[in-house]
Amino acid sequence: MRTRTSIALIGVSAALIGTAAISQTGDRVVERDLKIMDQWLGNKQAGRPVSCIPHRQIQSTYYVGGRTILYKISNNLVYRNDPPGGCPGLNSNLALETRNPTGLLCSGEIAQVRDYSQGYSPGSCALGEFVPYRRVK
């Protein structure tokens, strides 16, 4: 009887510790995302939104909390896209798949969130307008 009680308490303690660890990990991810977003946009000024950007000019992409997508064109230019309603399931471990035969990435286009390692799609979203952030001189 004591053994079962001890096991039950250890199980509860492990569950509570696991919950705290997940919460702290989530907080670290948010902190990391905000820090990277600040690095990419911090010394830049927002410009007038545009509907499309050339896909081939994108050097790298970063996803911030399933709500914001950053497209780095150069050290001087980054586009910020905030899909209306967010982009469910999107995080830095997944990919965003778009089909753009024109070579342009445009607002209103449906983007599919993909987990290629597990072979599934947790969701999709429509892209919003692209806000250019340019380095302030």
Q: With 0.85 as the threshold, say if the pTM is over it.
A: no
| Cβ proximity of 70 and 40 under 8 Å | yes
In tens, the pLDDT along 77-132 reads: 999 999 998 888 787 778 888 887 889 999 999 999 888 888 777 888 999 999 99
Strands 130-135 and 44-46, sheet pairing = antiparallel
* Structure letter (DSSP) for residue 107: T
pLDDT exceeding 90 applies to what percent of the chain? 41
SS3 35: helix
- Length of the chain, please? 137
